[in-house]
Amino acid sequence: MEPIKFNYTVPGDDFTRAGEASADLKNKLKKMGITGAPVRNISIALYEGEINLAIHAGGGEITALVYPEKVELFLDDNGPGIADINLALQEGYSSATDEVRSLGFGAGMGLPNMKKYADEFHIESQVGEGTHIKMVVNL
Amino acid sequence: MKIKDIIELLDAENLTPELDLEQELHSACGSDMMSDVLAYVKDQAVLLTGLNNPQVIRTADMMDMLCVVYVRGKRPDALSLKIANEKGICVLTTERALFTCCGILYDNGLRGA
């Protein structure tokens, strides 16, 4: 069965808009009759990813594929990349600036939260080329 | 506890008067770090915070929260209130500090995770 596809562009220059894509997808999933813990897990995982795209990557693209049994989320950017992915996945590690922390993020919980709320989490990153993340949440 | 009870207990101002104040609430959390709210909070209905930007309301929305209380007299901007009204999230503001608010609400039956 062909999945239902949603695409979003996350701007890199307007932090106040970060979260629009996650909120829109959450709304669409609810309208499709998908509710409860899976929707919250999708929303949180994608929201953290969206925040990362906005504050670390200079923006990026989100693709959501909705299947009857799962939702696949792809986050792609052409940002600075991550030098040490294992370090970035540790709770509490963050490369965020004080400005980002003053906005309530940058506690080093972004990637760990994404991994925590997704049933599958895959990340590839090249310094100077960008980061590509795939998450799967089972319905 | 209902949202109207929180308004009374915290001597708070309701910034979303068109939303339902009769919603029943059982749990709350207080934090200025939205990442922590997203990481550790489960089924909390109320977020108390001194942080003031639209991501507060976005975070509450992602967590299916029903009410946000801004402490220390913080007042959210127009975009935050617009999103809150769209999502049906009641927004209150109080002059009291975060610790004091948490104590009062805990003393009156609201619990954490």
With b meaning 16 or more CB within 10 Å and e meaning fewer, what string describes A119-134? eebebebeeeebbbbb
Q: What is the mean pLDDT of residues B94-110?
A: 97
DSSP secondary structure string for all residues of A20-87 = HHHHHHHHHHHHTT--SHHHHHHHHHHHHHHHHHHHTSSEEEEEEEE-SSEEEEEEE--SS--S-HHH
Distance from CA of B106 to the nearest CA of A (A): 24
Q: How many domains does chain B have?
A: 1
| Interchain contact, B39 vs A113, CB within 8 Å | yes
Residue-level pLDDT at A91: 86
Which pLDDT band, with edges at 50, 70 and 90, does A128 fall under?
Answer: very high
Percent of chain B with pLDDT over 90: 85
| Interchain contact, B61 vs A109, CB within 8 Å | no
Residues of A in contact with B34 (CB under 8 A): 104-105
B12, pLDDT greater than 90 = yes
Residues of A in contact with B87 (CB under 8 A): 23
Q: Encode pLDDT of A72-92 as tens digits.
A: 999 999 999 998 899 888 888
| Interchain contact, B35 vs A26, CB within 8 Å | no
Q: What is the mean pLDDT of residues B73-100?
A: 96
Q: What is the mean pLDDT of residues B91-96?
A: 98
Q: Is B112 inside a domain boundary?
A: no
Q: What's the full length of chain B, in residues?
A: 113
A49, pLDDT greater than 90 = yes
B113, pLDDT greater than 70 = no
Q: What is the mean pLDDT of residues A113-128?
A: 94
Q: Which residue has the tokens 């975060």?
A: B98
Which pLDDT band, with edges at 50, 70 and 90, does A114 fall under?
Answer: very high
On whether any CB of chain A is under 8 Å from the CB of B36, the answer is: yes
Distance from CA of A83 to the nearest CA of B (A): 22
Q: Which helix (H) or strand (E) holds A122?
A: strand A120-126
| Interchain contact, A107 vs B61, CB within 8 Å | no
Tell me the C-alpha distance between A99 and A105, whole Å: 9
B84: closest chain A residue by CA: A23
Residues of A in contact with B51 (CB under 8 A): 103-104
Q: Is B113 inside a domain boundary?
A: no
Q: Is B29 inside a domain boundary?
A: yes
Q: Encode pLDDT of B23-36 as tens digits.
A: 889 899 999 999 88
Domain assignment of residue B65, given as a range: 3-107
Tell me the C-alpha distance between A134 and A124, whole Å: 9
What is the CATH T-level fold of the domain A4-138, as seen in this structure? Heat Shock Protein 90 (3.30.565)
Asked which of A63-72, B33-42, B56-65 is least confident by mean pLDDT, the reply is B33-42
Tell me the C-alpha distance between B89 and B81, whole Å: 9
Averaged confidence pLDDT in chain A? 92
Averaged confidence pLDDT in chain B? 93
CATH number of residue B16's parent domain: 3.40.1390.20
Residues of A in contact with B79 (CB under 8 A): 16
Residue-level pLDDT at A101: 84
| Interchain contact, A40 vs B63, CB within 8 Å | yes
A91: closest chain B residue by CA: B39
Asked which of A106-115, B58-67, B75-84, B95-104 is least confident by mean pLDDT, the reply is A106-115
Residue-level pLDDT at A34: 92
Residue-level pLDDT at A5: 97
On whether any CB of chain A is under 8 Å from the CB of B59, the answer is: yes
**Is B85 in a helix, a strand, or coil?**
helix
- In sequence order, the β-bridge partners of residue A128 are none
A4, pLDDT greater than 90 = yes
Q: What residue ranges do the domains of chain A occupy?
A: 4-138
Asked if the interface predicted TM-score (ipTM) of this complex is over 0.90, the answer is no
B82, pLDDT greater than 80 = yes
